[in-house]
Structure formats: structure tokens, C-alpha cells
Amino acid sequence: MKRLILFLLIILVAGNGFAQNSRLQQQGLATQLIVDGSPFLIVGGELGNSSAACVQDIERIFPKLKRMELNTVLVPVYWDLVEPIEGNFDFSLTDKVLEQACKHDLKVVFLWFGAWKNSMSCYAPLWFKQNYKKYPRAHTKGGKPLEIASAFSGNVCEADSRAFSQWMKHLAAIDREEGTVIMVQIENEIGMLENARDYSKQAEEAFRSEVPAELIAHLQKNKRSLHPHMLEKWGSRGYRKKGNWEEVFGADIYTDELFMAWHYACYVEKLAQIARQIYNVPLYVNAAMNSRSRKPGEYPSAGPLAHLIDIWHCAAPNIDILSPDLYDDGFTDWVAQYHLHNNPLFIPEIRLSDNNGVRAFYIFGEHDAIGISPFSIENGSDAPSAPLVQSYGKLKELIPLLTRYQGKGVMKGLLFDQKNRERVIVQDNVKMTCRHYFTLPWDSRATDGSVWPEGGGIVLKLAPEEYLVAGSGIVIEFEKVTEKNVAKTLGEDGFVQTGGVQQKESETFSRWTGKRIGIGFVNEVNVTGDGKLRYVRRLNGDQSHQGRHVRIPVGQFDILHVKLYEYE
């Protein structure tokens, strides 16, 4: 009898989609993506918007992605092609993606292009678009209808949800055993344009209604940890506990954005609940940035932006991650906004460039990131010497080691460019002065007028006086925090520049006391599948500037094992 009950429970769980091949878990301060029982980092790429719209393109692109060293590909799912005729569904493109992913040993993150893609409803089927009375549009303040389906329409949500549900059921049926799909994105860069909110009749009625009690309760419960923007908006009205949106948050476009964010998030939550019930993989939403001093409506207002995280967490609790799509300058500032105490960092889109490789090292080292995915990845180079190919190869090798130490506070990320050239890191009694490789005097590219490629990497403390350094275009000097250095301009031979002012020890230092740190050895290494270091070669002499520093040249990606020692 007990065996029968156990068997029935197993069947019930499997049938309801709760047998998970991927999930999220905490390790220390980090949120990790677990795939097939082990921590996993997404070194991925997202296909261009129309690059998975026919079988021939999918078959052509996937072998290249494997040569590019990806372990994951982000692929759009188009509502208009899934349900070209209302009630008739076609999943052939999804099947082809999964077939090619399995063939080329790639995991898949699917992106549901449903009611909205980059704010607009361009991927809704034609039958949906034409029947605008049943599936109404959002309106501007002046009454202009937009190519944006209204989030306040039950019919819109019902149609979107029905298609999503049918697709999820098909996905669960064909992928549950294989486990190729590791995450799902719901909608794409959701948000209002032209105005900060929808002014349709239904939207206006909702705006004049009271702020939902569950949101007020959420703000009260989490008051000490609210995002500063949310706390300021609520506080400006005296932390009111009741009233309509303007009474609680004030009358401006930022209140309009809060209101719209609530309703977008409520809509997304309905789809998230469907996904949870059918195929329970991690879920996320992505945001177009509020950059370049634009105001709500000038950027896609009310999307899953960092300053709206409290609204989204309350209204859409089944969404695991709010993710940034990054196409602007200021990379380190943007990623810091999205790695929060209540939000792990995953970058599903970033502009494709040669700098993506070192940026990947940076976010895994500095922010315990889940992954990164340059956009239109199929247009990148698959040459073995390409920066992204080199970096992804090394990162895949490092995954067992990086995931072992995530969340434990022993990793730092480095990222340098022509303007931001140096970072000083202090761990225990060790001071690490980290710089861009071109701050060294012997590479002509540093001074020939070229724009410096970004340099970046990871510094991982393995044990006292033992480090792993990985990346490209970086140089690191080690010393005790008590040591005093005098900056000297070096010539291309690595010695003090000719004509420099010689300083006597007595002019610079008092009588020396205590120990110094030296570099015992620097080994280039590989990382095995179980996270062990395998010796490749010793880097000494010129390769460590006679024991003065550790470096990895621009254009070359390496993993170095560094052992320090003390002397006096």
C-alpha cells in the first residue's frame, strides 16, 4: 500500500510539472541557478528578434553558437507564429530549437513575445490586432490609440494567457525529461510609451480607485528596506495608508508610473502562475533602461526597473528576477542597480561588443551574477581568437570553481577602461593594486591614440596568501597594507624612466619594520570539471616583471594561480 501511494505521488508531481531540472537556491549572499543538480552560470547569447522565425535559420545558427563557446541561448517565442489562427497552435519552431539545442549541447532560455515586446504589441497575432474592440488598445492622455494592448482588458490577458498556457503545456510535455529549458522570460521590455500611463477608460477608472490594500501592507512591512525612490514617493505624502494613487503618492508622472507598474506586474503575475503550475522553471522579466535623463513615457514607463522593484515584488511574487537590458554607457553603475539584496543579477541583453567577455568576468566576480547574454549573438565572430569566444571558453572552465565560492565574500571583479584605470582591493592584510594592462609602459597600443579595449577579470581568494586571477587586460601588484610605495614613472624596459628624480630611502621611509609580501610563484592553470587546478606552465621572469606583479595581456584570456609569501 505504501509503495502504491508513493508511486501515485510521483506520478502526480510529474504530471503537474513540479519535477524541476532547474531552480534557484541561496548560497551565502548569492542566489544560484541550479541546473541538473549543480550550480550553473549562463555564458550565453540572445538571438536577434527574427532569427528564430524559420527552421532554416535555427539550423544554420545553432552550430555557430556551439563554436562560440556558449552554454545557453536565449530564444524568442512569437505569439503570432504560435497562434496564427485563433485557437490553432503551431509549436514547430519551439521543437526545432530544442532539437538543435540538444544536438549542440546548449541550454535554452525562452522569451515569450506575447502581448508586448519593447512596449509594443507587434508580436500579437493579426486576428488579435484587427479585433481592437474586443482587445482594446492603450490610449494617450489626448485620446490617441496606440499599438499597445491595454493591460486593463480582461480579454487581452485571457487571449495572451491562453496561448502562453498552451505553449507551456507543450514545452513541459517535450522537455520535462530532457531539461533543456532552464528559464522563461515573460513578455519583453514591458512598458508604456508616449505617456507614463494608459489613459483608456478602464485605466482611468483604476487610477481614480484606491491603492490596493496589499500594496500598502507590503510597503508598511518592508519600510526599512524599500528602494529609496519608493520610500521618497510614499514619504512625500506622509506614508498614507489609504487613498487613491495621487492621494497616496502625489500628482506627477512618477505616480503615474507606479500605478502603471502595479497593473503591468499584476498582468505578468497571471502568466507566471500559469507557468508555475505547468512547468516550474525560474521566471524573470526584462527592462529597457530609464537612461539618458529620459522621463517616464520617454523610456518604457513602468517596466521592471530597479526603482520599481517594490511594486513588482508585491504584485508579481512569482517572478524571480528583474533583469536589465544594457545598451548605454556606465556598465558598472547599471549592474550595481540591479544586484540588490532582494534581486540577483542576470543580464539577458547587452549590446554585442568585444568588451562583453571582460564584462562577464567582472559581473561573476563582483556581483555573483547568474549570467550574461549579448544580443544578436549570431552576428558575433566564432573565430577561436575572438574575445568573446576566448572569454566564454575560460568562463565555462571556471564554473565549478566560481560557483563553489559564490556568496562567500572572497571574490572581486575588475573592470578597467581608458578613464577608469585602477582599483585598490584590501583583503585581510593584503593590498592589491589592480590596473588596466595598458598602464604598463611597454605596449605601444597604450599611447598610439587607440581607444583602450576594456580590461577585466576576477580575483578569487582561495586561501591565505593564495589567489586565482582570471580575465584579460589586467595587472595586479600585491603588498602588505603597512607598506609605503612611492610612485615612479617607468620606461619601456620596466625600470625607472630616464631623467626621473632619484629619491633616497631616507627621504621617503622611516626605518623599516615588519614583513613584506612577495610573489612565490605564478602558474598558468586549467580548471578541471571538479574544480581542481591543473598546471600548464610557470610564469616567471619577464612574465611577472621579475616577481613584481601578475598580469594578463590585452587580447589574451588566462587563468593564473598565484601564491604569495612573506619575508623580511
Q: What is the pLDDT of residues 247-263, one digit of tens each?
A: 999 999 999 999 999 99
- Domain identity same for 364 and 434: no
What are the φ and ψ backbone dihedral angles of 194, each rounded to 5 degrees?
A: 80, -50
Give a yes or no: residue 246 inside a domain.
no
Cβ(162)–Cβ(219) under 8 Å?
Answer: no
Between the CA of residue 231 and those of 260, 362, 505, what are the distances in Å?
Answer: 18, 30, 55
Q: Which domain holds residue 558?
A: 412-567
Round to whole Å and give the CA distance between 507 and 165. 76
Q: Which residues contact 553 (CB under 8 A, 6 or more apart)?
A: 437, 443, 472, 473
pLDDT tens digit sequence for 484-535: 655 556 655 566 665 555 555 555 556 777 789 999 999 999 999 999 999 9
Round to whole Å and give the CA distance between 235 and 227. 12
Give a yes or no: residue 204 inside a domain.
no
Band (pLDDT 50/70/90 cuts) for residue 444 is: confident
- Domain identity same for 556 and 476: yes
Share of the chain above pLDDT 90, in %: 88
Share of the chain above pLDDT 70, in %: 92
- Domain identity same for 342 and 429: no
Round to whole Å and give the CA distance between 500 and 491. 10
pLDDT at 13 exceeding the cut of 60: no
Q: How many C-beta neighbours within 10 Å does residue 345 have?
A: 25
Give a yes or no: residue 401 inside a domain.
yes
DSSP-derived secondary structure letter, 132? T
pLDDT tens digit sequence for 450-465: 899 999 999 999 999 9
Between the CA of residue 89 and those of 95, 135, 156, 165, 272, what are the distances in Å?
Answer: 13, 19, 18, 11, 20
Question: What pLDDT is attached to residue 501?
Answer: 53
Which SS3 state, helix, strand or coil, does residue 176 take?
coil
Between the CA of residue 180 and those of 98, 184, 400, what are the distances in Å?
Answer: 7, 12, 19
Question: What pLDDT is attached to residue 18?
Answer: 44
- Domain identity same for 461 and 500: yes
- Domain identity same for 366 and 435: no
Q: What CATH code is carried by the domain that includes residue 360?
A: 3.20.20.80
Last residue of a domain, one of 359, 376, 406: 406
Written as nine digits, the cell of 454 is: 576594456
- Domain identity same for 481 and 350: no
Q: How many domains does the chain have?
A: 2
Q: What CATH code is carried by the domain that includes residue 504?
A: 2.60.220.20
- Domain identity same for 437 and 493: yes
DSSP-derived secondary structure letter, 279? -
pLDDT at 14 exceeding the cut of 80: no
Last residue of a domain, one of 406, 425, 452: 406
pLDDT at 362 exceeding the cut of 60: yes
Band (pLDDT 50/70/90 cuts) for residue 357 is: very high
Give a yes or no: residue 331 inside a domain.
yes
Q: Please tell me the total number of residues recorded for the chain in this structure.
A: 568
Give a yes or no: residue 243 inside a domain.
no
User: Residue range 161-177: average pLDDT?
Assistant: 97
3-state secondary structure 31-95: EEEEECCEEECEEEEECCCCCCCCHHHHHHHHHHHHHCCCCEEEEEEEHHHHCCECCECCCHHHH
Indicate yes or no: pTM above 0.85: yes
Query: Rounded mean pLDDT of the chain?
Result: 93
Give a yes or no: residue 35 inside a domain.
yes
pLDDT at 275 exceeding the cut of 50: yes
Round to whole Å and give the CA distance between 290 and 295. 7
Question: What pLDDT is attached to residue 443?
Answer: 87
Between the CA of residue 350 and those of 45, 297, 335, what are the distances in Å?
Answer: 9, 22, 11
pLDDT at 292 exceeding the cut of 80: yes
Q: In the chain, what's the furthest Cα-to-Cα distance?
A: 91
Last residue of a domain, one of 385, 406, 427: 406
Mind giving me the DSSP string for 386-427? SHHHHHHHHHHHHHHHHHHHTTSS-EEEEEE-SS--EEEEEE
Helices (H), 68-191: 79-82, 92-103, 126-130, 154-175
Give a yes or no: residue 253 inside a domain.
no
- Domain identity same for 272 and 364: yes
Angle in degrees, CA 407, 408, 412, rounded to 5 = 85
- Domain identity same for 72 and 136: yes
Q: Which residues contact 146 (CB under 8 A, 6 or more apart)?
A: 137, 138, 139, 140, 193, 194
Written as nine digits, the cell of 170 is: 507543450
Give, to the nearest 10 degrees, the angle between helix 55-67 and helix 92-103: 20
- Domain identity same for 499 and 380: no
- Domain identity same for 425 and 366: no
- Domain identity same for 394 and 513: no
Question: What pLDDT is attached to residue 551?
Answer: 98
Between the CA of residue 21 and those of 107, 175, 198, 401, 462, what are the distances in Å?
Answer: 11, 10, 39, 21, 30
Round to whole Å and give the CA distance between 12 and 395. 39
Give a yes or no: residue 355 inside a domain.
yes
Which SS3 state, helix, strand or coil, does residue 453 take?
coil
